[in-house]
Chains A and B, each alone.
Chain A
């Protein structure tokens, strides 16, 4: 975050967003709706990272502002259907306004504290708003939620926004605007003070800043962008239901931002893409997808605090110093045992799942193009053996991998000094 992204990056991102839905293989309406969902998730994740990554505030109730923004936008869209002459692309702004308003109201309560206490207050507020959403059908529409239509609205530049591609471009536009605005926000005085309050709230107080004031401003701004994301959700799905403020959505955005990488701006976007894809597609391949997601999350917390973006950025110096070849060779070395372990573990998990949740589907089962009979002990033994062998091989090879790694980083350092 130290240097400002020079315009080239933003242009590249804009071109990429424009090209994506017409890339062969991505132009089916399902793929486009996934891309749209990833864009919405990216805006939401970026807004959450303003809190977690930039100001060190762990919130368990960020979906409140997403959902309330969504409800405001859908009610606004209903007004548009009733004749208000506002074109569709401007409807998400109603969500942003609602997000800001509720961010200010709840922010005044929540940002009085930081750390664990802040997390618990946000948890409490999240539970209260979710319970209220089921008890107040007038605004929240009860169980069936609130619906509206994005075609019964004034056309704008000749577009009627009925097709998925048009909605995608509206949402991609807002993603670009929101990302640019949030990135710029971090470059303002109060944005810099967010990092200061994250690193050392006490010292921030001795240079004239009230940490609660800084937390309050970033909370309101983050709630505004979460509301914007809610607004995008509203125009994309044309329905907002109580789950929009639910605890699961708060949990998912936390997974996205942490797995993506809290320390880098692009981390939240990366996390949004990966987790949205996992959520939608992985559940088709295996019913144990939540187990894999949980294990993947714990591995990131343990071994990859920088997240995926951190992992990528870790390798940038290698690429620059052209030492990447050595690093890749080191990885290749360690790949075989790790793969063996993974394969064995996945087989064990899938077999156990088949026996406990689908007994009637019989004992025979096909996994990785290999069919096996789970009632006989052999596949279980085989898989366990695979895991054990993989582990032993990894213990034997890992010193070589780390050695190769240190040589490569040595090269970079020396290269760096020479360059």
Chain B
């Protein structure tokens, strides 16, 4: 019983981390259709900025300044880079951000060196929040959950309820018409990209404690961010939230299951000898394959229901 509650709690915590990571991308991808390969790199920048500001000024100012700085970086990327690439289509946008992810990783190496930096949880938030069956849960994970939920409500309201949200949504599919109605669409895109990057920066501040702050962080995070956005559904913030919860919990529970197809076949009475070629494939335990379950989900979802769980459109 204990393992189930732990898995559930760990699953929720990991799911919220995933959502926090991909919330910025959900905003950018669903509003601007830009599959930002450099999103994880901006997240990494957030972790490095918060480490640096934290050492100079302290954790709480870093919690505010690091996301702002990442927002500025995002605005610069859109204003001086992506703006020229938009007319060339989605493929060019993806390629531009693909090159950008290499550049940001090397710039981080240039500034902070190759080795992981000690982005330790600052004392001010380094105490156990609560005990459950002897396992303590640190406060910073609680803070992370709060921020993650906060991001969800902010995005959901801003996206659906405010005028700016609606205008941005319209600008995605009919930019000419929206600009004809007097809205400065390019500046809107800069705003959206800045907000998305700031969210990534905020996620980086906390993520930097949960994960390892090192130049390879963006690469090792890799495409998990796209899985959340696509499985959740393009253009849907609630979809992304459900997807990150789903992935978090399914992956955590999968780790707890030590059974493989082979065991299942034994139960059904079919025995596969060790010599047969399939033995190796069938012997893979679900726990062993747990971390690649998101990609399995991605491929199956894209084929069966490319709109994703709550998506409104396909590209």
Contact = CB atoms under 8 A, between A and B. Distances in A.
Interface stretch (A66-74, A286-294, A409-417): A286-294
B69 interface: no
Interface in A349-383: 349, 352-353, 356-357
Interface stretch (B18-26, B48-56, B292-300): B292-300
Interface in B274-315: 277, 280-281, 284, 288-289, 291-292, 295-296, 298-299, 302-303, 306, 314-315
Contact of B99 (A116, A117, A294): A294
B156 interface: no
A240 interface: no
Given A135-B288, A305-B92, A251 B98 contact: yes
Contacts of B105: 290
Interface string A113-146: 1011101110111011001000111100000000
B85 A302 contact: yes
B292 A127 contact: yes
Interface stretch (B1-9, B106-114, B183-191): B106-114
Interface string A330-357: 0000000000000000000100110011
Q: Which among A56, A112, A294, A353 has the highest number of chain B CB atoms within 10 Å? A: A294
A116 B96 contact: no
B223 interface: yes
B230 interface: yes
B81 interface: yes
Looking at chain A, what size class is its interface with the partner chain?
35 or more
Interface string B208-252: 000000000000001100110010000000000000000000000
A138 B110 contact: no
Contact of A298 (B81, B226, B306, B314): B81
A302 B81 contact: yes
Nearest to A288: B106
Interface residues of B, number: 49
Given A115-B90, A135-B289, A305-B92, A298 B298 contact: no
Interface in A293-351: 293-295, 297-298, 301-302, 305, 349
A258 interface: yes
Contacts of A56: 91
A58 interface: yes
Given A136-B281, A251-B98, A294 B110 contact: no
B164 interface: no
B163 interface: no
Given A58-B91, A357-B109, A297 B102 contact: yes
A115 B315 contact: yes
Given A58-B94, A124-B295, A291-B107, A138 B280 contact: yes
Contacts of B289: 131, 135
B102 A294 contact: yes
Interface in B58-110: 81, 84-85, 88, 90-92, 94-96, 98-103, 105-107, 109-110
A45 interface: no
A339 B114 CA distance: 30
A221 interface: no
A135 B281 CA distance: 8
A111 to B, nearest CB: 10
Given A135-B284, A356-B111, A121 B99 contact: no
A91 interface: no
A101 to B, nearest CB: 16
A109 interface: yes
Contacts of A109: 299, 303
B198 interface: no
Nearest to B35: A116
A352 B107 CA distance: 9
B99 A298 contact: yes
A305 B230 CA distance: 28
Contact of A357 (B113, B277, B280, B298): B113
A259 B94 CA distance: 14
A349 B110 contact: yes
A254 interface: yes
A302 B111 contact: no
Nearest to A123: B223
A124 B294 CA distance: 9
Nearest to A299: B99
A357 B284 CA distance: 41
A56 B95 CA distance: 13
11 contacts: A123-B226, A123-B295, A124-B298, A127-B223, A127-B295, A128-B299, A135-B284, A251-B98, A288-B110, A291-B107, A301-B95
Given A294-B106, A357-B113, 5 more contacts: A58-B91, A113-B314, A123-B298, A136-B280, A353-B110
Interface of A: 56, 58, 109, 112-113, 115-117, 119-121, 123-125, 127-128, 131, 135-138, 247, 251, 254, 258, 288, 290-291, 293-295, 297-298, 301-302, 305, 349, 352-353, 356-357
Q: Which 4 A-B pairs have the closest CB atoms?
A: A294-B102, A291-B106, A297-B99, A294-B103
